[in-house]
Every structure is written in C-alpha cells, then in structure tokens.
Amino acid sequence: MPSYIDTAIERAWSLLDRGEPQKALDLMAGVDSNAARRWVVESSAYLELDDLAKARAAIDRASALPGIDGDLNYQWTKAEICLREWKLAEAEELYQKVAAAERTSAVLERLSLLADLRHDQAGADRLLAEAEEIDADEAPHPPRLSPQQFEHVLDEAIELLPEEFRAALDAVRVVIEAVPTESMIDKSDCAETPPDMLGLFVGASKLDQSTEDSAVLPPQIFLFQRNLERASIDRDELLHEIRITLYHELGHYLGFDEEGVAGMGLE
C-alpha cells in the first residue's frame, strides 16, 4: 500500500500537471521535511511560479538528503534550474542523464536548445527532428527561415503593432540574433533572462533617458530568431510570436515593468 508521502507526492505532481503550483506547495507543507522528493516537488512548483531563488533553495534541500541522485524528477528539475541560472554545462550533464533513462521529446528539445547556445545549429536541428519522430504533436519541427525571410516576417509584425508602439521603434534599434549569449545577461537577476527567452530590451527606458547622460547605452531590442522559431509551429505562429515579443519589449522601453507589461494585454 502506498505511504502517505507517496500518495501526497503523486497528488502534488498531478496538481503541477494541471497548472496549480500553489496547491502543490500547500500539499507539500504537510509532508516530512526529511523526504527528499518533497523538496523536488516544491522546487518544480517554485519554477512554475517563476521564483528561481526558492526553486534553487528547495532543490538544494533535496540534494542534501540521501537517495535522490537517481530520481529523474530530481535530475530534470535541477537541470531546469541550472538552465535558468545559465549553468549550461551542469544543465547539459543532467539532461543527458535524463535522456539516457528516458529519451523523450521534452529532454531532446532542451538538449537542442543547449546545442543552439553552443552555436551548433545543425546538431540542434537533428535533436529537434528526433524529438518530432518521438512525438510530433508535442514537438513539431519549427519553421526555419533565412535571414531575409525573417526580416520580412518582422516587417509584417511591426505593421500589426498599435501606432504608439510603431512610433516608439523610431527611437529603438531592433537587433536579430540567433540566441542570447551570456554577455547579455545580468547574472544578479538571471531569472528574467533565461536562455530560451524570445526577446530582450536593453538600455534606458523612455522615462529614464536623460539628454545629459551620454554614457547610457542606446535602447535596443534583441529578437532571438532560433528561440522564436522554436516557439512556433508555422509561419503564422512565428508572426504572432514576433509581434507579441516586440510589444512586450517596447512596453519596457515605454517604462512598464514586468507586472505592467503583463497587464497590457498582449494578444
């Protein structure tokens, strides 16, 4: 007969699958703190809530307890945290352990992203093709566009923006890169800049700009083509993703913080 801990943890994973991380955390509060799997669940729940610091603290609690090293949920969750923290070598080692046990489309997609971050685009696409063979519904191969084709879709996306946002582009340079690089990242707050992000605004917002401060970087929006393609199943969805990403990053230029951008209504 399953123990209370087993039953509670199974229920908590079901809650996470249903998109209810806070309920999973509430359930775990009653589980023995010496149960390593409790902390794996909590870590995964905090990741769903975008609280990277608490996710790391919980997975470290799990790591300190015996009998967890071979647990696939532990390896996956820790890999996800390492990826968000830009600890790419450690993340890849953990994903490879998961893949050795269960070669799923999800882990192949993560390994593909890591290949892209190493600038191995051919290797990344081979992994995505394998993921599609395993589960075409969960991992359809993304559209791949030439630089010229991507620029054309970007122009279409700009035309779909509200007038205020199109006007803001006169003061903001849009730069297309394949994927983000560590040099772009503020390691003190890497939770906001994961390797699979679609876009990034850098520089002073319109509200913060000063004509006397020549040292401030000019405002720029980076669009990450490979990540945007990865988030899309066809050209129409890619157009949608580019528009929403531009809308989001221009919101930062106009002075909205993350909460403000989230409340703008980006659909």
Which CATH superfamily includes the segment(s) 4-91?
Tetratricopeptide repeat domain (1.25.40.10)
- 80, exposed or middle or buried, with CB in 10 Å at 0-12, 13-18, 19+? buried
Please name the helix (run of DSSP H) or strand (run of DSSP E) that holds residue 59, with its range, or none. helix 52-63
Cβ(113)–Cβ(196) under 8 Å?
yes
Residue 209: what pLDDT? 64
What is the tens place of the pLDDT at every residue in 134-181?
Answer: 999 999 989 999 999 999 999 999 998 888 888 888 889 999 999 999
Could you give the CA distance from residue 40 to residue 24 in angstroms, rounded to a whole number?
A: 11
Whole-angstrom distance, CA of residue 86 vs CA of residue 165: 31
Bridge partners for 177 per DSSP: 224
Work out the widest C-alpha separation in the chain, in whole angstroms. Answer: 72
Residue 181 φ then ψ, to 5°: -125, 160
What is the Cα–Cα distance from 60 to 19, expressed in whole angstroms? 23
The residues that bridge with 176 in the sheet, in sequence order, are 223
- Whether 238 and 143 have beta carbons less than 8 Å apart is answered as yes
Query: Collapsing DSSP states into helix, strand and coil, what is residue 223?
Result: strand
- pLDDT, position 163: 87
Long-range contacts of 3-12 (CB under 8 A, 24+ apart): 4/31, 5/31, 5/32, 5/35, 5/37, 5/38, 9/35, 9/37, 9/38, 9/41, 12/41, 12/45
Strand 220-224, strand 173-177: pairing: parallel
Say whether pTM exceeds 0.75.
yes
Give the Cα separation of 41 and 55 in Å (integer).
9
What are 51-101's pLDDT values in tens digits? Answer: 999 999 999 999 999 989 999 999 999 999 999 999 999 999 999 999 999
Which CATH number is 147-262 given?
Answer: 3.30.2010.20
Confidence tier at 255 by pLDDT (50, 70, 90) = confident
- Residue 266: is its pLDDT beyond 60? no
Assign 216 to helix, strand or coil. Answer: coil
259 pLDDT band, cuts 50/70/90, is low
